Chain A
């Protein structure tokens, strides 16, 4: 029995914004199937009344004084960007032509 199909892997790749190749899809599908069957063992443990742990440190709502401290300048923040225009990050178009 397989845990995950090639079509499901293709769907995951779209969700994760990875334009994987057909050859990668074949390989990832078989590898993810092996991994998922192994990690599915967590389901063997009875956990009906067990709370989840999201974090090892029992800290909540850490507060600090709201003091102004120096931050990055716009130039510094933009310095590593692949494309910049008019002091902003430039991105490819987001909307389709006819909208």
Chain B
């Protein structure tokens, strides 16, 4: 591993801006690292070496010309394959979109390009972001750099594994029920879900529109905050985008790195205090809470009684929205078409196309959502879940009258072996037990490494009120400053997944 692939993004940006190293050298080092390791890790579905090097070249030209650069100019980034990229394939991990090349860029992609971040390529994911292990990708699973016989979590396992394996200093994910935070926890990296509406969804292929939130993945809290600042902010092309200034996440991460949390009130959520969690996860989490106390934070227990209904409510709301959103994959405007032999009518061709193009988890969720929205069941399922969502938001609001942030383990268990949860879909859903409440409420939440259990990373989650994203970065950066940075063992080959 060369030094360039080990440095934090913020450090690389400073070296590039000072002319000490070129953006091309930095980008090439990461492309070389991908070439050397991705046969094993399989974090990428598409690598765009030419495009990344051209973008790096443009940054180097700007440095030579003495132009003012953005704070992350020249630092390469990996992009979850759920964002449209003009001229670059976008599959969402699905066979139904294999080979599709979008005609336009997502707003996030435009912002990354404008800020001078070379895009290394598109990362692997559970199909249409539905899953918690990246095993539901139509293009094969991603391996966890900590132990290649285990999953990196999901749905954004590719982005998290790319960052953990030093293939990219930064990556973009999307978090609908935990798909940035849970893989962050399982790969020993930092993953943040911004406030819903804080980052544009324009060009993000929709799974559950009222929950989908793009956000950053990185190896340090400061790097995640810097990337957050690049992608966040109002976008007139997204009608749910919040027309307010972005909280000062970069400043908060810098203050937190001083390791002083005096005056900060932390709420320990009784309902997320480890029920159903592995003992090693609970032990690492409790030790981290002790560390936060030593840094000056005041910790008190709070109760959010409706959080126990968050998982059931989520698995009604998200599939309902998905069954509606994925109706667009009908073999007419883009992607696969199957069975169009000149004799079959449209509806039959659609059903054959969707049958061939969607994998098992997507089909399950489409049918589950179709059921929850059907007449006779709507009130008992979807309607009731929406009311429970209100009660979960009220629990958050009541808690934030007493404390500044809430903390919990990010996920109940460490990285699990391939195949351990695919046989029983509900066992896979439990991976999101602690991350889902923030999605239903809309508030920001971050996962930060907080130690190891049986040699595998554990994450601590910090949840904050809506549009108080700075608070979670402050607390996460303080914890990071007091703990050793987790580093995976050297990559070695594993038995077939």
Decide whether A and B are members of one complex.
yes
Q: What residues make up the interface of A, taking CB atoms closer than 8 Å to B?
A: 4, 8-9, 12-20, 24, 28, 31-32, 34-36, 38-45, 47, 50-57, 59, 62, 64, 72, 76-77, 79-83, 89, 91-94, 96
- Chain A residues with Cβ under 8 A from B355's Cβ? 18-20
> Does B107 make an interface contact (CB < 8 A)?
no
- Chain A residues with Cβ under 8 A from B197's Cβ? 56-57, 59
- Chain A residues with Cβ under 8 A from B358's Cβ? 18
- Chain B residues with Cβ under 8 A from A12's Cβ? 367, 370-371, 374
Among A20, A34, A39, the most chain B Cβ lie within 10 Å of the Cβ of A39
**Contact flags (1/0) for B13-43 with A, using CB distance below 8 Å?**
0000000000000000000000000000000
User: Cβ of A82 and Cβ of B337 under 8 Å apart?
Assistant: yes
Known contacts A19-B355, A72-B103, A92-B349: does B332 contact A50 (CB below 8 Å)? no
User: Cβ of A31 and Cβ of B210 under 8 Å apart?
Assistant: no
Q: Can you report 29 A-B residue pairs in the complex whose CB atoms are below 8 A from each other?
A: A12-B374, A16-B354, A16-B370, A17-B351, A17-B354, A18-B367, A24-B360, A28-B367, A32-B367, A34-B424, A34-B426, A35-B364, A39-B311, A39-B315, A40-B312, A40-B381, A42-B313, A50-B390, A54-B210, A54-B386, A56-B211, A57-B240, A57-B442, A80-B100, A80-B101, A81-B334, A82-B337, A93-B345, A94-B345
User: Cβ of B381 and Cβ of A39 under 8 Å apart?
Assistant: yes
379-399 of chain B: CB within 8 A of chain A: 380-381, 383-391, 393
User: Cβ of B332 and Cβ of A59 under 8 Å apart?
Assistant: no
User: Cβ of A81 and Cβ of B426 under 8 Å apart?
Assistant: no
- Chain A residues with Cβ under 8 A from B442's Cβ? 56-57
Chain B proximity of A99: nearest CB distance (Å): 11
Chain B interface size, under 10 / 10 to 19 / 20 to 34 / 35 or more: 35 or more
User: Cβ of A28 and Cβ of B336 under 8 Å apart?
Assistant: no
Distance of A96 Cα from B344 Cα, bound (Å): 10
Distance of A13 Cα from B118 Cα, bound (Å): 43
Distance of A36 Cα from B441 Cα, bound (Å): 23
Chain A proximity of B35: nearest CB distance (Å): 29
Known contacts A45-B384, A56-B442: does B371 contact A4 (CB below 8 Å)? yes
User: Cβ of A31 and Cβ of B425 under 8 Å apart?
Assistant: yes
Contact partner of B384 (CB less than 8 A), chosen from A43, A64, A80, is A43
* CB nearest to B316 among chain A residues: A39
- Chain B residues with Cβ under 8 A from A4's Cβ? 371
User: Cβ of A18 and Cβ of B366 under 8 Å apart?
Assistant: yes
Chain B proximity of A50: nearest CB distance (Å): 4
User: Cβ of A89 and Cβ of B333 under 8 Å apart?
Assistant: yes
Chain B proximity of A98: nearest CB distance (Å): 13
Distance of A51 Cα from B239 Cα, bound (Å): 22
Distance of A56 Cα from B102 Cα, bound (Å): 29
User: Cβ of A32 and Cβ of B381 under 8 Å apart?
Assistant: no
* A to B contact number (C-beta, < 8 Å): 177
Contact partner of A42 (CB less than 8 A), chosen from B196, B368, B384, is B384
Distance of A24 Cα from B349 Cα, bound (Å): 19
User: Cβ of A42 and Cβ of B364 under 8 Å apart?
Assistant: no
Contact partner of B323 (CB less than 8 A), chosen from A16, A20, A96, is A16
- Chain A residues with Cβ under 8 A from B309's Cβ? 41-42, 44-45
User: Cβ of A31 and Cβ of B312 under 8 Å apart?
Assistant: no
Known contacts A17-B330, A39-B315, A76-B103: does B368 contact A53 (CB below 8 Å)? no
User: Cβ of B383 and Cβ of A28 under 8 Å apart?
Assistant: no
Dominant secondary structure at the B interface = helix
Contact partner of A45 (CB less than 8 A), chosen from B100, B306, B331, B354, is B306
- Chain A residues with Cβ under 8 A from B334's Cβ? 80-82
User: Cβ of B391 and Cβ of A50 under 8 Å apart?
Assistant: yes
* CB nearest to B314 among chain A residues: A39
Distance of A20 Cα from B366 Cα, bound (Å): 12
Chain B proximity of A53: nearest CB distance (Å): 4
Distance of A45 Cα from B440 Cα, bound (Å): 16
* CB nearest to B99 among chain A residues: A80
Known contacts A42-B388, A91-B332, A91-B346: does B242 contact A57 (CB below 8 Å)? yes
User: Cβ of B103 and Cβ of A77 under 8 Å apart?
Assistant: yes
Distance of A39 Cα from B436 Cα, bound (Å): 14
**Contact flags (1/0) for B187-219 with A, using CB distance below 8 Å?**
000000000110000000000001100000000
User: Cβ of B371 and Cβ of A18 under 8 Å apart?
Assistant: no
Known contacts A45-B391, A92-B340, A94-B345: does B350 contact A52 (CB below 8 Å)? no
Chain A proximity of B314: nearest CB distance (Å): 9
* CB nearest to A55 among chain B residues: B210
User: Cβ of B239 and Cβ of A43 under 8 Å apart?
Assistant: no
- Chain A residues with Cβ under 8 A from B342's Cβ? 92
Chain A proximity of B332: nearest CB distance (Å): 5
Q: Which 3 A-B pairs have the closest CB atoms?
A: A56-B442, A52-B386, A82-B337
> Does B6 make an interface contact (CB < 8 A)?
no
